[in-house]
Every structure is written in C-alpha cells, then in structure tokens.
Amino acid sequence: MKKSYSWLFLIVILLLCGCNRENKQDKDLLQADTAPFTYENAGEADALAVDANGLLYVCKAVWEEEEDTGPVPASEYVYKPIKQMISVYDLEGNCMESRKLEFGNGDCWCMLAGEDKLYCAVYHSNYGCYVLYEIDTMQWTVTEKVKLEGYSDIAYLEVVGEHIYVLGRYKKPLRMDYEDDTSLEYSYNRIARVSLADSQPELELMNVELPVAIYETDRDNLMIYRYVDGVNFGFLEFDPQEVTLAEAGWKNIDGNINELGGCDTGFVYSKFQIDGEFLYYGTPDGTEAQVYPEEVRLNRPVEYQKGFVFFANRRDGKVYRICIEETRQDNPPIQFLQMELTQDFPYGCGFQMEKRIVTDQELALKVLAQDKDFDMFLMSSRSPSSDSVRKNGVFYPLNEVEGVEEYIDACFPYLSELARNEEGDIWMVPVMLAVPGIVYHKEYCAGQDVDFSSMDFEEMLMFTRKTRETNQSFADISFYVLKEELFGQYLSRYDTFDTELFRNYAKTLKSIGDTTWLMESKVVEELSYGGDISPEIEARTPWLTGGELPEFYYFYNVYSDTLDALQKNAGERDELGMLGMPKLEDGMKNFGTLTFMAVNPESQNLSAVLDYISAFSKYMLGKQDSFILADKASYTDTPFTKEWYDLYAGGSVYFGVDSEVFTGVFNDYLEDEIDLEAAIAEMERRRKLNLEE
C-alpha cells in the first residue's frame, strides 16, 4: 500500500511541475516587450532552443566530481562522467526549472525545441560518434533516437514534417557526378534526415553539394543555404512531400553569412563587417537590414519565433531576445557601391540596404560620371582612384544632415579637415581608420636597452634583420609590410621617386633581402585570433589571460579588428606598449588608411539615404573605442589603449596610396631583373599615368 502511495505522490509532483511551467508562461510571445531583452540569469549556453510559446531552453555541460588519482596513461584514459543541465526560462527571464539529465558524455552543441520535445546532438565516446537524443520536456525522460555515425560535428538541427534534418561536417567524402562526365569528391558538410515516426530510424544522407546552413520555411519545406560552385552562394528549397530540390532564385546572396536561421519572410544571420560581427535580417529580393546595434560573437545558430530572434552572445556570455520589426526601418532599399576588397558596410541602423560589389575603376567612373543608379558608396583611401574621386567627384553636402556636423567636429582634427572640401562642405563621413604600428614588450625591450621610439626607419630595418638572424620569434614583421611602409610614408611627402632618399632606402631594403619575415611567432598568431581565446590557445599562451608574458621585442599590427582582439585579451597588460612605425624622415606622420562613405547627389532615394547618414553619425558619436573620435573619455582606460589612442591621434591619411601600382617594378629591382635607375624611371611613368587616370 505504501508503494502505491509513493507512485501516486511522484505522479502528482510531475504533473505539478508541468502545470507550473505552463501557468507561468501566461503572456503570449507576440505580446512580449519589443525592446531588446537580456536573459541575465541564463549565463553561458552550450546550446539553446526556443519553443512556439517563447520558452527558452538552455543546455550546459556539468562535469561530475571524481577522485584525483594522478596522471592516467593514454591507453587507460576514459572520458569523465558528464551530465547536461537543461534550464527553462519564461519571457521575463525567470528560471522556471532546471533538470540535470544524463545523456552522452560531451558538450551539447546543437538543440532544437519541438512540441513538448527537445532534440539534442551530443557526442558519446562509447559509440565514437554523435548521438541524436529526444527529450520529453513534460516527463523529462531521454530517448536515444539515432547514432549520427560519420559526423565529426553537428551545426544545425531542424524539424520539418515527420523528419528531423541534421547538418554537420561529415568524415566520408561525397562523390558528385555531373552531366559533362566530370565528378567531384569533397569532405565538407552533409545533410541527413531521420524519421521521427520510426521507433528505430536510420540516418538517410542527402546528396546536396556544399551545404552551409538549413532552416524550415513557412511552406513547411527545408531551405538550404550552400556554396553553388565552391565560390558563390545560393539557396535550394527541399520539398519533403515531393522529395524534390529546386533553386530558390534569391539574388545578391552574400558569402559572408554566419549562423543563419529562418524567419517568416526571409532569414536572420550574423556576418562580419567593417567594425565587428553584427546581426542582420535578409530578404529574398536581396535587401538586408541590421537588426541589433551592438557587436555580437556567435558560434550557434540564431533562434526565431513569431517576430523575435534569440541568440547567445559569446562576447558577454548572455542570451538576448530582440524584435525584428522594432529595429527594421520601412525604407526603400538603399543602393550602395562597395569596392571588392573593402570590408562590409558599416552599422545599418535597421535600414534596408542592397549592395553591389564593384572594382576600384568602376566605382571611380560611376562617381565621376554622376550616374544615377546608386545612392552612396564605400571606399578606401588607399585605392589608386581615391584621390581623383575626392578632388573631382561631386557629392551631396552633408552639413545640414542632423548629427553629421557634430560627428565630424568630434573626429580627430586631421579627419575633420579631410571631411570638408575647400568650400567647407562635408563631402564624406569616416567609417574606419587603420594606422599601422608595432606592439612591443616594454620590460624586455628596456632590459635589452632597445628603444623603438628613438629609431628611424633604416635603424629599425637593420635591428630587425640582426634580430631575425638570431631568433625569428623575437621581432615579427613581413617584408611586404616594410615595402608598403616605405611607399606609404614616402608618397605622403614626395611626388617623385627621383630622390636620393628613395634611392638610399631602396638599396637598404635590397641589402636586407626578402627574408620572408612573415609573422611566425605564437605571440602574433594568438593575439591575431579574432574572437574569444579558446582553451587550447589559452594553454599555449597563458599570458593572454594574466599569465607570464614571453620574451619578444615587437610585432607589427595594422588592422583595427585585430587590435580589438588585442585590447580585449591583453589590453590591461602594463608590459605591452604600442608605437607608430619609425619614420623615413623627421616630422612624418603615422600613415593610416581611411574607409569612408559619401552620398551621390543624383540619388533617387535621398530621403532614406540622409536618414541613414544621420543615424550612422549619431551611432559613431556614442561609440566607445572608435579610434576616430578625439575625446579621450570615449576610450577604455588602460595603458595599452592610451598608447593606441596616441598613435591614432597623431596619424595622417594620404589618398591614392596603392603601393601595388609600383611594387611590381620595385620587386623586379630587388630580384636583380632591372637596375635601380630603370626601376625609378618606370615607377615615375606609372605614377604620372595613375594621376592622369
């Protein structure tokens, strides 16, 4: 009799747990607050999923404590016991319940919420592969659905109809035969599907080339984002009823998409742009709009439910919920031109954009001809055509656009001066500045009596040559960078190569020779890592997180995204300093590259464009660590950042420096294929031709 009461008591408790979860979620997701929301208590998520009611499920691996028995031989090593902690959060961010479940013995990298079900892909060492588990979220029971044999990782899970689809890296190569009697074998992502109706389902591989991401469409089909030919990107739509694949026909597909997820009329994804990784909404007609103003770092797919997007941000370890329609502007798509090698367009402020990638010459011709088929453009000052565009182009004056003059006035003085023409009109707005410099080990350099601040360019060349001959990891710079610095600094002051200064430096570089001074040290490799520091990297370079700093003199750095990683991972290290490159002559400035945008006065969409320029300027005015604004109070208060600020504040920008125009001939001289006087004559000819163009 007591046993019967015990079972009855257990059933009541389980029912109460389920009812409590249902009753607490009494607000419909569609009526949730549309302001960006942070799940403060969710913490770092290994995986997350959202059901149709807006319940957030977060999964984290929990290691079980074991007695420490000392080192274990590799032949006897076994995985430590691990359990998965699944927590459920309501729309207000309250944790409704947490369950510690035992399935697999690795991290849960991928999770999907169905109706009263969770599906998780977790590695299991006993099987030597990932396993797909089905979890009943009312009873919290776990069922092993199918072994995902052949997969080395799992990136996406998606339920469509009676099947769950799996996408991940597959170990066995796929052979594809084509109509022209050619074939291709590749090891890459593969899609497989598993029947949910079968009690013992099998893994059914699909022959889809180079898939990147998958999601369910509003037509109950499976959309597949993929490489089309190994270079371009496109969408395929799979109809599970007819078992057919068809081209979706969507245009302007961007290859820079990361962690894509589907929504009602398009898709949500993150991508890397000019100042970090940001969240976007894209549509089948090729437009896109940024839907979250702050930088993100994602390594899991975004989740979408009823107009809301959920994502785990590795940048701060928190989970967020945003409403797409709250940030997306209802503007006619802004047509903008972008150079081939320029990083993607900056902060979008929710405006719908449609870009066209063009060559440097195509962009210049369109600007100079005042074509009417574009609204604005993005360009780099190092483009060979940038000086001609700046001097001869016609641009919409931005002085009266709200926020623009305040932004320009707040920039470094040399940028403010560049942004205005001789008549005082603001013709462009700065987007990103990159000033080359060297990061050096203050204590080690002081101990070796090395002072880079007192060296000129030639002295640094000779110092680096000597150092590299004895220890290659103590001074890191590439021979290409040295040539770029030579031309960049030189052309900022001289308009001819026919000088003794250039001849002397050319002879010095040749005497050193191309010793392939590529960045070989682990210091540079790890600091250039563009995201969070992984456990493997941290183990090799503990100084990034407070450990001992290895001995080195310096390494060269120029890109602002790498400097962001430096600042994030080592910005508070007093031992690190940053200086501009030594100069060819006294009084020369740090040579920088400016990415900027300007508005076509012939635009047929001026109202939306100027609204965008206004929003962008206001965004930049409030940006921390922009390395464009002059106000020191807008920068992080660390020694490294202060020196970085001084470098950028003392910089300069020279339009039209593209050393590639000249370095081909210069390389011929370095390789003894042409003498110096003949090289100078040919570079002079190219310089004059470039000016005429």
Average pLDDT, the chain: 81
Q: What is the mean pLDDT of residues 361-379?
A: 91
pLDDT of residue 297: 82
How far CA 680 is from CA of 276, 385, 504, 667, 693, in Å, comes to 40, 22, 12, 12, 20
Q: Residue 17 pLDDT more than 80? A: no
Condensed to tens digits (0 to 9), the pLDDT of residues 146-203 reads 999 999 889 999 999 999 999 999 988 777 676 667 777 767 889 999 999 898 899 9
Cα(478)–Cα(312) distance, integer angstroms? 37
Least confident of 139-143, 182-186, 350-354: 182-186
- Which DSSP string do the residues of 250-306 spell out, in sequence order? --S--TTEEEEEE-SSSEEEEEEETTEEEEEEE-TTS-EEE--SS----SS--EEET
CA dihedral angle for residue 168, residue 199, residue 97, residue 316, rounded to 10 degrees: 0
- Which DSSP string do the residues of 584-621 spell out, in sequence order? SSTTPPEEEEEEEEEE-TT-S-HHHHHHHHHHHHHHHH
Least confident of 233-242, 252-261, 504-513: 252-261
pLDDT of residue 532: 47
Q: What is the mean pLDDT of residues 506-512?
A: 85
Q: What is the mean pLDDT of residues 533-538?
A: 46
Q: What is the mean pLDDT of residues 299-327?
A: 87
Percent of the chain with pLDDT over 90: 31
Task: Tell me, rounded to whole angstroms, the distance of Cα 7 from its chain centroid.
Answer: 53
Condensed to tens digits (0 to 9), the pLDDT of residues 47-78 reads 999 999 999 999 988 876 555 555 555 455 45
How far CA 229 is from CA of 24, 92, 109, 209, 234, in Å, comes to 49, 45, 28, 9, 9
| Residue 132 structure tokens | 């797909």
Closest residue by Cα to residue 609 from 417, 365, 341, 329: 329
Q: Residue 12 pLDDT more than 50? A: no
Condensed to tens digits (0 to 9), the pLDDT of residues 255-290 reads 667 788 888 778 888 887 766 788 888 887 778 888
- Report the chain's C-alpha Rg in angstroms: 29
Q: How confident is the model at residue 537 (pLDDT cuts 50, 70, 90)?
A: very low
CA-based torsion, 641, 644, 650, 656: positive or negative: negative
pLDDT higher at 7 or 685: 685
Q: What is the mean pLDDT of residues 489-497?
A: 87
Q: How confident is the model at residue 547 (pLDDT cuts 50, 70, 90)?
A: low
pLDDT of residue 570: 60
| Contact (CB, 8 A) for 293 and 29 | no
Q: What is the mean pLDDT of residues 89-116?
A: 89
Q: What is the mean pLDDT of residues 390-418?
A: 96
Q: Residue 11 pLDDT more than 70? A: no
Closest residue by Cα to residue 412 from 101, 634, 149: 634
CA angle, 435 as apex, 431 and 438 as ends, to 5°? 150
DSSP 8-state symbol, 117: E
Cα(681)–Cα(683) distance, integer angstroms? 6
- Which DSSP string do the residues of 523-590 spell out, in sequence order? HHHHHT--SSPPHHHHHH-GGGGTSPPPP--EEEE--HHHHHHHHHHHTT-TTEEEEEPPPSSTTPPE
Backbone torsions φ then ψ of 647, nearest 5 degrees = -60, -50
Least confident of 108-112, 518-522, 540-544, 576-580: 518-522
Backbone torsions φ then ψ of 532, nearest 5 degrees = -70, 155
Q: Which of 215-224, 380-389, 406-415 has the highest mean pLDDT?
A: 406-415
Condensed to tens digits (0 to 9), the pLDDT of residues 585-637 reads 988 888 888 999 999 999 999 999 999 999 999 989 988 888 999 999 998 88
pLDDT higher at 481 or 156: 156
Q: How confident is the model at residue 384 (pLDDT cuts 50, 70, 90)?
A: confident
CA angle, 50 as apex, 45 and 55 as ends, to 5°? 100
Condensed to tens digits (0 to 9), the pLDDT of residues 28-46 reads 788 888 888 999 888 778 8
How far CA 466 is from CA of 331, 452, 469, 523, in Å, comes to 59, 15, 5, 20
pLDDT higher at 577 or 527: 577
- Which residues 6+ apart lie within 8 Å of 49 measured at CB? 56, 57, 111, 112, 113, 118, 303
pLDDT of residue 311: 92
Cα(381)–Cα(492) distance, integer angstroms? 12
| Residue 67 structure tokens | 């007695």
Which amino acid, one-letter code, is at 595? T
pLDDT of residue 472: 53
Q: What is the mean pLDDT of residues 371-389?
A: 89
Q: What is the mean pLDDT of residues 309-320?
A: 88
CA-based torsion, 104, 107, 112, 115: positive or negative: positive
Q: Residue 343 pLDDT more than 70? A: no
Q: Residue 81 pLDDT more than 80? A: no
| Contact (CB, 8 A) for 117 and 138 | no
pLDDT higher at 1 or 389: 389
Q: How confident is the model at residue 659 (pLDDT cuts 50, 70, 90)?
A: low
Condensed to tens digits (0 to 9), the pLDDT of residues 414-470 reads 999 999 999 999 999 999 888 888 888 888 888 888 888 888 888 888 888 777 777
| Contact (CB, 8 A) for 677 and 669 | no
